[in-house]
Structure formats: C-alpha cells, structure tokens
Homo-oligomer: A and B are copies of this chain.
Amino acid sequence: MAQRVVKQERAERTRAALIRAAAEVFGELGFQGASVVKIADRAGVTLGAMYFHFRNKDDLAREIVSAQPELVVPPQPSQGLQRVVDVTLTWAYQLRDDPMLRAGARLVWEQDQFLPPEENSHQQWTRIIVDELRTAKSRRELRAGTDADALARVLVNSCTGAQMHSAIETGHRDLPQRIEEIWRCLLPGIATPSATKRIELGEARVKV
C-alpha cells in the first residue's frame, strides 16, 4: 500500500516535470520546433516514461493550452467588470516571467496543428470573460446596448493581438501597457460613466 502511494507520487512528479519541460521547450522553439526527445531530455526522463504519460507532443501542447485560465488568478477579490480587467492585467504581468503562460502565448499561433477548431484558446477565454461580463451587466456596470458576447470576443481578440505584437517588439515587456490602453479605449464606450470612473487599472491591482 505504502509502496503504491510512493509509486503514484513519483508518477505525478514525473508528469509535472514533463509539463514544465514542455512549457520551456515550446516557449523557446514553438510547437513545430519542439520534439518529444527534446522535452524528455529537458525533463531528465526516458522516452519510455514520457510515452507512459503523454501520447505525443500534441497531448502536451493541449495540456498547456487548456491549463492557461486556471493559472491566471488575480490576487485581489473582485467582481464583474473589475474582475475582467484584473484577469487581463494579471495575465499580462504574469506572462512576462511564467514559463507556462509564455508557452501558452507561443502555442496560440500554432494551435491549428494540435487543437480542433471548437476547442481553441479563443473559445476557452471567451466563455470565462462572457460569464463575468454577464455579472457586470446585472450589476449595471455596462452601458445599455453593450453586447456581452461581442465585447468578450473583442477583448480576447485584442489581448491576443497585443500579446503577439508585444512578443515581437519587446519580448512581452510592454504587454501590461498595451492591455491598459485597450481598456482606456474601450471603457468609456462600454461601461456606464460611474463604472468607468470606479474601474482601477495599473500594477497595484495585480500585486500580491
């Protein structure tokens, strides 16, 4: 019994090490540039152990992309529109140093190679944001006529484009500023004047 627990713990450690290694390798080389050999090497495990946990690099890439939203947890409690702001800002600041988020950001450009269209990262984030925007709507933070679904798509599209261009130009250093300017352009048009005034941007929102 005790031996089974030890074995299981070891398997879980190996699995976690493989995901961490895959994140690093995908982040550096992209999906096409990565290989199971490079990932197993980086994790310090045999190819056999690697194939015990994952069928191929597609499996690892899907695991990393689908884990993205749960990695982004704003440190301060918030609801509605401020929550959506906090999620995007936390993502932007965290992306600069977190290998899992950096891998996710890089894999997004190549996701058609390992994800079916209906499971893409855009759908995943849109669902989360639209829920929070519905809360914002019930709290009367959105202007009459603001379409929560359309706004969620616009937010995910603009954050994705900002991420891509920020990667090329500054290796993501200027991503938080780009996300803040998206909000400054959007807020007056989509939020009520009192909500617009109340919403906080800036690094203080995401400091632990």
Contact = CB atoms under 8 A, between A and B. Distances in A.
B169 A161 contact: no
B189 A186 contact: yes
Interface residues of A, number: 40
A15 B167 CA distance: 33
Interface stretch (A80-88, A147-155, A199-207): A147-155
Interface stretch (A6-14, A52-60, A177-185): A177-185
A109 B165 CA distance: 10
B169 A122 contact: yes
Contacts of A147: 181, 184
Nearest to A196: B189
Interface of A: 32, 108-112, 117-118, 120, 122-123, 143, 146-147, 150-151, 153-154, 156-162, 164-165, 167-169, 178, 181-182, 184-190
